[in-house]
Amino acid sequence: MKDPMMLIGLLMGFAIVILANIMEGGNPVSLLLVAPMLLVFGTTFMVTLAGGTIADAKAFGVGIVKAFTGGNVSNAGLVVPSVVSLAEKARREGLLALEDMVKEMDDEFLVKGVTLAIDGTDPEEVRDILEAEVTAKKKFDKQQAKYFADAGAYAPTIGIIGTVMGLVHVLENLSDPGALGPLIAGAFVATLWGVCSANVIFLPMGNRLKRLSELEVMRMEITIEGVAAIQAGANPRIVAQKLSSLLPAGQQPPAAEAA
């Protein structure tokens, strides 16, 4: 399920900044200077990549898309009815009867867990395999979010570098008082973009990826418990209550729907 909240928040954030600038009598066009923007965004991007590997750089690109679209994160509560229906059929007809149901499911992690169970894999081994996948995902997501946190730390400092460079040009033109105003204004645009990009773009994107990761991991952990219950032949109503109790308040499905 796509979630456009990142795009909405970013656009509204910049809209408020522009509106505040206009209300103070400024001209937003004067902030769109190519040189400071190139310095801040280009250098921030490159030094952030310099802190990782080529594989990490690919994850950085994937992270940008995921942050804006929300990936394929779904409400963890949606897993409960699926697991309960599987548990009911397995209890009634046996694990082998789940093969046809699994083919119609879109949740790859749930399909993987149930398939392992159908193949007769030991319950402990199934749990170990699925938990190892969760651990690997946490590490990948952590590195992905770290890129944007690093970019948020670098951008303001790089903006200051741009301001210092601009002030050097100001000092070079002290003999021309008429040129000092535009030069000083241009110098501070770099700091503006450094601070603005960090706090309006990079840091929110990092936090967004962390939150998406938390939601995905929660869904996967609930799935692990569901698969274990299916293998154990647990009562579907008990399965529904157990899995629902693992969900945050507000995401728990109605008892009738879950069971």
Q: How high is the pLDDT of residue 258?
A: 44
pLDDT digits (tens, 9 = 90+) for 158-212: 999 999 988 888 887 777 777 777 778 888 899 999 999 999 999 999 999 999 9
More confident residue, 64 or 78: 64
Count the alpha carbons within 13 Å of 44 in the hemisphere toward its beta carbon: 33
pLDDT digits (tens, 9 = 90+) for 119-130: 888 999 999 999
Confidence of residue 256 (pLDDT cuts 50, 70, 90): very low
CB 87: neighbour CB atoms within 10 A? 26
pLDDT digits (tens, 9 = 90+) for 127-164: 999 999 999 999 999 988 999 999 999 999 999 999 99
Q: How high is the pLDDT of residue 252?
A: 65
Q: What is the pTM of this model?
A: 0.83
Q: Which residues contact 158 (CB under 8 A, 6 or more apart)?
A: 39, 40, 43, 44, 47, 190, 194
DSSP code per residue over 30-83: GG--HHHHIIIIIHHHHHHHHTS-HHHHHHHHHHHHHHHH-TT---GGGHHHHH
The mean pLDDT value for 96-109 works out to 85
The mean pLDDT value for 75-91 works out to 84
More confident residue, 61 or 194: 194
pLDDT digits (tens, 9 = 90+) for 200-249: 999 999 999 999 999 899 999 999 999 999 998 888 888 888 888 888 76
Q: How high is the pLDDT of residue 81?
A: 87
- The C-alpha atoms of residue 10 and residue 7 are separated, in whole angstroms, by 5
Position 254 pLDDT exceeds 70? no
Q: How high is the pLDDT of residue 37?
A: 92
Residue found by looking up tokens 């008892």 in the block:
255
SS3 state at 246: coil
